[in-house]
Amino acid sequence: MAKPLSVKDRLHDQAVSLTPAERQLSGVLMRDYPVGGLQSITKIAEAAGVSTPTVIRLARKLGFDGFPELQSAMREEASAQFKTPIHKREGWGSAQPGSAAFKAFAEAVFDNLSRTIDRLRPETLDAIARVLADRQRPLFLSGGRITRSNADYFYNHLQIIRPGVTLLGASPNVWPQYILDMDRASVLILFDIRRYERDLERLAELAKEREAEIVLFTDQWGSPISKLADHVVNALIEVPSNWDSTLAINLVIEALIAEVQTRVSDTARARIEALEDMFQSTRIFRKSP
């Protein structure tokens, strides 16, 4: 069964129909999402420079009976952000045996993929691809305890199709050595999902001080790094498991790999051919039948 739309999803879906005042209010709600929506209606209105009736109208436009129901939804989302793996499984009901459990898991993943695609703006994907395809801009990648595998996967492909790509060492202790080489031409690509990691946030802060451009892949709620990032991809991650799924993030990664390879096709082809020659000479892989 599909999860209900988050407030962020609803704001995204209604973006075109919002009035200027409602857009100001939406910006305030998204600035520190979802915690920013837990203040009183008066404080939220003041922060956005709008009237309290505007807050109520926006809540109703998003499908809620009023502000208390909208705030209740955001409170639940804030709670969900900080669920530990042992408690996360509880929200999906009782376990199902065998194929039924697999089907429920697969349906949740497909729903995540569909909703991630729906909320991903083409201009965001285009802007990221343009930055990644610029061979004059060095790329640096890093991820967290779980998302480091996503960073490693993205790195392996980018490093083949273009030069100047670096995967940061696993230990935060060595990150200053990489930051030393960053400047305004540099691009830092980060992966950070709930149970957001303070080390990654500090890395982003230091990179920003050196004027590096930041691309962030995060979950539907948004890592604190979102405030520092120039480009943000929000992918849905919840599944009936004690763990989150990063398949939707990988979908976007693979789409970007394909797009970047197309944009640097001349260099990519030469690099791939040279790499294949090395594989042949070292006999790393078996010959294809």
pLDDT of residue 63: 92
Q: What is the mean pLDDT of residues 215-225?
A: 92
pLDDT of residue 30: 79
Report whether pLDDT(112) > 70: yes
Report the distance separating Cα 47 and Cα 64, nearest Å: 21
Per-residue pLDDT for 125 more than 80? yes
Chain segment 245-256, per-residue pLDDT in tens = 999 999 999 999
- The region of weakest confidence among 7-16, 58-67, 75-84, 241-250 is 75-84
187: which strand partners?
139, 213
Instruction: Tell me the pLDDT of the chain averaged across its residues.
Output: 87
Residue 279 CB neighbours (<10 A):
11
Question: Long-range contact list for 52-55, CB < 8 A, 24+ apart?
Answer: 54/21, 54/22, 54/25, 55/25
Mean pLDDT for the stretch of residues 164-181? 95
pLDDT of 204: 97
| pLDDT range class, residue 287, cuts 50, 70, 90 | low
Q: What is the share, in percent, of the chain residues with pLDDT greater than 70?
A: 91
What mean pLDDT do residues 143-161 have?
95
Please state which of the ranges 74-78, 133-137, 230-234 shows the lowest mean pLDDT. Answer: 74-78
- What pLDDT is recorded for position 85? 56
Domains and CATH numbers, the chain: 1-81 (1.10.10.10), 118-280 (3.40.50.10490)
Q: In the predicted model, what is the mean pLDDT of residues 113-121?
A: 88
**Higher model confidence: residue 284 or residue 116?**
116
When pLDDT is cut at 50, 70 and 90, the band that residue 98 belongs to is low
pLDDT at 11 over 80: yes
**Sorting pLDDT into bands at 50, 70 and 90, what band is 148?**
very high
Residues in a beta bridge with 140: 166, 188
- Taking 70 as the threshold, does the pLDDT of residue 64 lie above it? yes
Q: What is the mean pLDDT of residues 141-165?
A: 95
- Residue 220 pLDDT level (bands cut at 50, 70, 90): confident
Q: In the predicted model, what is the mean pLDDT of residues 231-240? A: 90
Alpha-carbon gap, residue 188 to 167, rounded angstroms: 10
The pLDDT value given to residue 212 = 98
Confidence of residue 56 (pLDDT cuts 50, 70, 90): very high
Residue by residue, DSSP assigns 219-232 as -SS--GGGGT-SEE
Q: What pLDDT does 278 receive?
A: 82
**Would you say 184 and 212 are in contact if contact means Cβ atoms under 8 Å apart?**
yes
**Distant-in-sequence, close-in-space partners of 116: CB < 8 Å, separation ≥ 6:** 234, 235, 236, 248, 251, 252
The closest alpha carbon to 162, from 262, 257, 259, 271, belongs to: 271
